[in-house]
A = this chain, B = another copy of it.
């Protein structure tokens, strides 16, 4: 399999115009060394030939990629696509390209992607860890090597790491308190696994609220699982095996709520008449036209902006101390249509 790709190089241009390679390189980068006349001549010709700089050669030589690596666990929900959009926006604004990789909530994929991004010598890394990430060794290595790294949403806690996340504990607490204020007392929680900060913190917030209002914490109504639709479906089914049903369920994510709704349909239960649902995070729409699917709103845009901000600080000053930022959640009652506005990229 021979490759005979006729990719134009600086050399091709240089030979044709009888100048040195460096002159061409400088001209195309608008270096002050080169006269305006020569620049124009070179640029025009490069354009005619359809020259594209070779990313690899440029990186190798300049030792920087102007690129940041982004790893998310999934893109099949509302949350991450929205977050990705705001991260792109912020990064592009600062003239960084983003390389996106998806771990599909698998620790091995995550590890592989990290290695790929490292091998691309990205200038920095943004990571929301997978549900199954327990071995943090690679992150400690990365930290030691000095590559800027900032976690977001699903984070590894510890003073040596930078991260931006939402106050999940308070968010869950807010949601439950809203339910209590509405008059509910018998509250269940479809929770995430304790291994991940989101599952841990949101469950703690649930417990906080119950205790604060002197309600018993219903251990057998706290069901741990994944953060996806399937977990919601299965969790709800499990919950319904008791003859004793809760009045309302707090789901750890919007995706889990979707699974609950589906399960309810399959069981012939009506929401909110038979059982009500409240969740943390929101979807593109209140998909069930159920006026009672309140949710805790996560400031996605702010999170995207902040996380890029922190990373770029780390890139520009490798000695910077780790930053931990915790954003406040907000309760949203009867939220309906959330429109994602179109994104504008700055011109290059």
Contact = CB atoms under 8 A, between A and B. Distances in A.
Interface in A20-52: 50, 52
Interface string A267-295: 00000000000000000110111000000
Contacts of A88: 102
A51 to B, nearest CB: 10
Contacts of A152: none
Contact of A141 (B50, B82, B288): B50
Contacts of A229: 284-285, 337, 339
Nearest to A263: B337
B145 A116 contact: no
Interface string A117-152: 011110000000000000000000100011100000
B145 A6 contact: yes
Nearest to A347: B108
A4 interface: yes
Given A81-B75, A285-B229, A337-B262, A60 B63 contact: no
Given A229-B339, A336-B262, A121 B7 contact: yes
Interface string A65-97: 100000000111010011011001000000001
Given A81-B75, A289-B288, A4 B146 contact: yes
Main secondary structure of the interface of A (DSSP, over half): loop
Interface in A297-335: 316-318
A54 interface: yes
Interface of A: 1, 3-7, 50, 52-60, 63-65, 74-76, 78, 81-82, 84-85, 88, 97, 99-102, 104-106, 108-109, 112, 115-116, 118-121, 141, 145-147, 229-230, 233, 258, 261-262, 265-266, 284-285, 287-289, 316-318, 336-337, 339-340, 342-343, 345, 347-348
21 contacts: A1-B316, A1-B317, A5-B147, A6-B146, A53-B119, A54-B121, A55-B120, A56-B56, A56-B65, A60-B60, A75-B81, A76-B81, A76-B82, A99-B99, A100-B100, A109-B345, A112-B348, A261-B285, A262-B285, A285-B287, A288-B289
